[in-house]
Structure 1
Amino acid sequence: MSGNTFGTLFAVTNFGESHGPAIGCVIDGCPPGMALCEADIQADLDRRRPGTSRHVTQRNEPDTVEILSGVYEGKTTGTPIALLIRNADQRSKDYSAIAQSFRPGHADYTYWHKFGIRDPRGGGRSSARLTAPTVAAGAVAKKWLAEKYGVSFRGCMTQVGDLPIPFESWEHVPNNPFYAPVADVSALEDYMDALRKAGDSCGARIRVTASGVPVGLGEPLYDKLDADIAFAMMGLNAVKGVEIGAGFASVAQRGSMHGDSLSPEGFKSNNAGGVLGGISTGQDLEVSIAIKPTSSIITPRESIDTQGQPVDVVTKGRHDPCVGIRATPIVEALLALVVMEHALRQRAQNADVVQPVAPIAASAI
């Protein structure tokens, strides 16, 4: 009811505030017997961590994870896994000037009306700071899926603002702060430097894929795999659009082009994004999301205060000029949580289903 838990069989309950003592999550439903330690989780948290380049917020959080429960002698016990990430670099005074007003494009206004109270320090519960526990939970799901089925996840930025980013190779993604699949990111750096100097912000487009996904994950009608993926992605701060496979480009495609032909060697294309009828095909899951511009900027904007009076809002402090820069590990984590949920559901319901014919090769593309 309160909307703080994602999933049912692999349920992740997220807690904390941006400027509170700590943030974290409780994972309920992780299968027992998997080797797990903080290092398995920390690598993904380090990829999302703030302060890693001049192009993101300079809030310096180590994001060190602590496993409080659910692991004994290095293995999961099947009981709830509590993960804690302490906040170490809060600067709440930066938000005193906007405590009684509403940032345009931010959740300040809706939170205040819904709850009758809001935590203005860094956005409180609406802050993207709360994506760190999601990344931590996603790392646990990634590990189990990799060991059980060989599933792997990877993502990249394909556009920042109005600047498209061509795809060159996945190997470039870990080597730059943008998670861009290109060797030379100088144009992206110049773009972000000019944006920060102007006191403005921009959006981004992120692509994420999951490879090695088993055939048959997902349910007909209301629990379709792609529906749950879209639900998860729209739960990420600042996301305003989700595409599966060809997405909106399928509007201009003909049926003779869009339908992915099959052969004994595999599918010949992947316009469906790895999902047909809400059920995984065994091809790569292909997802893209659109992230809106950051709401907290120093450019003055018209708004109102809590008394309904007109004000000009200027948001000082440490903010990402493009929240999409650090979004790639978060999007990977969300996709992993969805796949994990459906993998456990498939194992519970259909583990004894025997196919008369082996699945075709996952993909020929």
Structure 2
Amino acid sequence: MASLGSKTFVKGARTEIGFQPSDLRGLSPPAVQISIRRRRSPAPRRLEVQAIGNVFGNYFKVATYGESHGGGVGCTISGCPPRLPLSEADLQFELDRRRPGQSRITTPRKETDTCKILSGISEGMTTGTPIHVFVPNTDQRGHDYSEMSMAYRPSHADATYDFKYGVRSVQGGGRSSARETIGRVAAGAVAKKILKLKAGTEILAYVSQVHKVVLPEGAVDNETISFDQIESNIVRCPDPEYAQKMIDAIDAVRTRGDSVGGVVTCIARNVPRMRMETLEPEQTDRAGGISNGETIYMRIAFKPTSTISKKQQTVTRDRQETELLARGRHDPCVVPRAVPMVEAMVALVLLDQLMAHLAQCEMFPVNPALQESVSSAIDGSVLTPNLA
């Protein structure tokens, strides 16, 4: 269930509608119940998220923009080091992995997601100034969302956007659409390249569960798994047998107009030792929240897609119970396309932490008895060929 603090709704914050904290539970039946409880004390600051969730990072700062059925989506990147070889092809490679319409188990929406770098690059190299990436939307069908102008999709952000802003973009969910992640993936492509060149860090993610199909523990060797293994099938599971089982599970719900969730496993290899501070110390690859050089493992769960072509019980903006039969084009399971999104977010966090370490701990020569300096993984002439 969603959890909302009540602060936004007190003292007549929505006087034209008359929302009060006590009203919220009456907006919906138990299937889409909203609970109100006091927020916990804030956690220690890690990757900073600013501007209502649109800006990520402290040193490598990314701001995403755009909406599902607007003119386009993208990002601006501030803090990217100068003299990094970078092209639109570097970004396009990752964007092609997340774009819709790749196979029968993804949304049929057809978008090429062709990116354009509008600033921050000169003669194929970063200049150290903000990088602006733009991706146009070309296959919008706004009329598919007419039923959702008043009826809220259960488990989606329709209701919460109305409660927060008092207005929302109905077509495609607007800012709450997964198309927002295009900006993250584009910025993540830059972060992955910097991590690879500077520290030899490699980030790989794959699907380890779809609905009730679970890849057994130990079926994949996370130390040797390769990108080609992951990309060898449409579900992005490196084990062929379980990949087919996952595809069959998605096909089964797709034909019924339903959806399923799943899990993405991500690994980060060759993360510099004693560099990434404030990482959660839940495993032995980090000691006291600081990376120790071992491979970092993580699992990220995704719920079933909210928008399905089956009737659902919901409520309207004026608090009336109703049924919603959604139209539109949606993924029966977001997990296969989430793989590059997970990699991108991991890269953004790790690079932000690496830049923080370099700024604080390598201003002066390191203590060779205890420390290792982060040195480039490749020859400097490759990084700056026109300056060599």
TM bracket, shorter-chain basis: 0.7 to 0.9
CA distance in 1, matches of 2:371, 2:76: 38
Alignment TM-score, normalising by the size of structure 2: 0.78
After superposition, give the CA deviation of every residue in 1:229-278 in whole Å (9 maximum; x if it has no partner): xxxxxxxxxxxxxxx6xxxxxxxxxxxxxxxxxxxxxxxxxx43x21111
The aligned counterpart of 1:50 is 100
The aligned counterpart of 1:181 is 238
Secondary structure at the residue paired with 2:76?
A: strand
Secondary structure at the residue paired with 1:340?
A: helix
Secondary structure at the residue paired with 1:12?
A: strand
Q: CA deviation at 1:133?
A: 1.0
Q: Does 1:356 align with 2:376?
A: no
The 5 A counterparts of 1:269-284 are 271-272=283-284, 274-284=285-295
Secondary structure at the residue paired with 2:245?
A: helix
The aligned counterpart of 2:12 is none
Q: CA deviation at 1:225?
A: 2.0
Secondary structure at the residue paired with 1:45?
A: helix
**Percentage of matched positions with identical amino acids:** 44
Q: CA deviation at 1:191?
A: 1.3
The aligned counterpart of 1:89 is 139
Q: CA deviation at 1:356?
A: 1.0
Secondary structure at the residue paired with 1:47?
A: helix
Aligned AA (1:217): R
After superposition, give the CA deviation of every residue in 1:136-172 in whole Å (9 maximum; x if it has no partner): 0000011111111111110100000111124345442
CA distance in 2, matches of 1:358, 1:189: 47
The aligned counterpart of 2:22 is none
Q: CA deviation at 1:186?
A: 2.6
Q: Check the 8 A contact 1:217/1:280 in 2, yes or no.
A: yes
Aligned AA (1:213): V
Q: 2:91 aligns with which of 29, 36, 41?
A: 41
Q: Check the 8 A contact 1:158/1:205 in 2, yes or no.
A: yes
CA distance in 1, matches of 2:206, 2:134: 27
Secondary structure at the residue paired with 2:240?
A: coil
Secondary structure at the residue paired with 1:342?
A: helix
Q: Check the 8 A contact 1:172/1:183 in 2, yes or no.
A: no
Q: 2:260 aligns with which of 195, 202, 205?
A: 202
Q: Check the 8 A contact 1:298/1:314 in 2, yes or no.
A: yes
Q: Does 1:217 align with 2:275?
A: yes
CA distance in 1, matches of 2:349, 2:246: 31
Q: Select between 133-142 and 169-178 the one with higher mean Cα deviation.
A: 169-178
CA distance in 2, matches of 1:340, 1:63: 25
What CA RMSD, in Å, does the superposition of the two structures yield over aligned residues? Answer: 1.4
After superposition, give the CA deviation of every residue in 1:309-365 in whole Å (9 maximum; x if it has no partner): 111011111100111121010000000000110111111000133241467xxxxxx
The aligned counterpart of 2:352 is 341
CA distance in 2, matches of 1:357, 1:172: 38
CA distance in 2, matches of 1:112, 1:301: 19
CA distance in 2, matches of 1:77, 1:100: 47
Q: Does 1:127 align with 2:177?
A: yes
How many residues are treated as equivalent by the alignment? Answer: 312
Q: 1:2 aligns with which of 37, 44, 52?
A: 52
Q: CA deviation at 1:3?
A: 2.3
